Amino acid sequence: MAQDGGYVFKYPKWQGIVQGAAGELDQTQLKRRIAEAEAAIFQRLQELAQERGSSEERQALSDASNLLLTLKREVLKFPDWEMGKGQSDSSSA
Residue 92 in domain: no
CB 33 within 8 Å of CB 68:
no
Helix (H) or strand (E) holding 61: helix 55-74
Per-residue DSSP letters for 5-19? Answer: TTEEESSTTTHHHHH
Domain that holds residue 8: 2-78
How many domains, the chain?
Answer: 1
3-state secondary structure of 53: coil
Report how far residue 77's alpha carbon sits from residue 29's, in angstroms, rounded to the nearest whole number.
15
Q: Domain for residue 22, yes or no?
A: yes
pLDDT for 82 equals 66
For 54-68, the pLDDT digits (tens) are 899 999 999 999 999
pLDDT band at residue 31 under the 50/70/90 scheme: very high
Domain membership flag for residue 35: yes
Confidence label for 93 from pLDDT (cuts 50, 70 and 90): very low
Of 91 and 50, more confident? 50
Confidence (pTM):
0.77
pLDDT digits (tens, 9 = 90+) for 45-55: 999 998 887 89
